[in-house]
Amino acid sequence: MTTARSELILGGQKSGKSRRAENLAQEWIAQSPAHSAWLLATGQAYDAEMAARIARHQSDRAARVPGLGTIEVPLDLASALRERSRPDCLLVIDCLTMWLTNWMMPMTEHLPAAQRWAEQADAFVDALAHAPGPVVIVGNEIGLGVIPLGREVRAFVDALGVLNQRVAAACSHATLMCAGLPLVLKGEK
């Protein structure tokens, strides 16, 4: 596995997306003592199950990739990418789907409205295109199933599909994970 300048890793739940991203971060860190890696985590704990899931992910990740620091970035991913990206620092963004959820389906009144989503997506794609260091982005591919019944859910699935397309176009590599196996969609194997 070689670290690309930028790679979008898509797949379903438990397909191996985050593990691939962690492996790329671990490989990056091992390449040079000057290398660092940070995870920009977008998930938020809105209930006890999600809080436990986040805690488990943090603990497991710390054991697997001890040099990977974590920064929680639920909303302003573009600014975090601009501030943290450096040629000697790999950034892992996990995940686009939760980030979109934070914008389109806010669970509290303190979060911004979905109407600002378009400007956030534009800013993120621009920051990604101009990032001086390597970026690995994890996201879900949810558009392969039955069309959802609700208007809001259909809008979310559509927005995620468009976001995935835009991010894939901005990345040098794109990989689809299935059963822990990578299928290269863009870039060399």
- Give the tokens for residue 179: 């059963």
Asked if 57 is an active-site residue, the reply is: yes
Round the CA-based radius of gyration of the chain to a whole number and report it: 16
d(CA 95, CA 30): 24
In contact, 127 and 91? CB cutoff 8 Å: no
Residues 6 or more apart whose Cβ sits within 8 Å of residue 33: none
CB atoms within 10 A of CB 60: 13
Q: Pick the catalytic residue: 57, 110, 130, 173?
A: 57
Which residues are known catalytic residues?
Answer: 57
